[in-house]
Amino acid sequence: MPDYPVKPMERTFVMIKPEGLQRGVTGEIIARIEKKGLKIIAMKMLVISGDLAKKHYGEHAGKPFFENLVKYITCGPVIAMAIEGKNAVSTVRAMMGSTDPLKAEQGTIRATYCMDMGRNIIHGSDSLTSAEREIGNFFKPDELIGYSRSIEPWVYE
């Protein structure tokens, strides 16, 4: 059995939004990510500035909901994370469930913890390109910590 994963792992960005902190479910969400076998390589709590929010949600600029989105995501602290693992982007997206919690598959984060699309508790990158950009928006390269875990040979072939 190899010491640790042989294949390079993907990285994705995950953010637990202000309602996740207010509702006290951050630990449960982080535990789900870790229990899946994904590895947190960076994590911080912060209140997002207006400029960073506009940069993060830049693809929505000009849309009717953009200003409310920026206002909401800056209203309180969030937890920002860089996550690493096999197929990390698609794995996290599947774990989160549909943006509309009422359409999310049972057992997903949004189906479990959310009632309204405007309070869907978590953000995850939708592609490797977005993940790289979003991780870069929230973390400096030296804040991404590479390390091995003893469970990795039991998670990956």
| Bridge partners of residue 31, in order along the sequence | none
* The predicted structure's pLDDT at residue 3: 56
Confidence of residue 8 (pLDDT cuts 50, 70, 90): confident
The predicted model gives 45-68 an average pLDDT of: 94
The residues annotated with a catalytic role in the active site are: 123
From residue 52, alpha-carbon distances to 44, 45, 55 in Å are 15, 14, 5
Residues 35-44: what's their mean pLDDT?
A: 97
Structure tokens at 78: 């969030």
Q: Which domains does the chain have, with CATH numbers?
A: 10-48+78-144 (3.30.70.141)
Would you state the pLDDT for residue 153? Answer: 86
CB 122 within 8 A of CB 16: yes
Question: Does the structure show a pLDDT above 90 at 36?
Answer: yes
- Which residues are CB-neighbours of 110 under 8 A, at least 6 positions away? 96, 97, 98, 99, 101, 104, 120, 121, 122
What tens digit of pLDDT does each residue of 117-126 get? 889 999 999 9
Place of tokens 């790289």: 132
What's the burial of 1, exposed, middle or buried (CB within 10 Å: 0-12/13-18/19+)? exposed
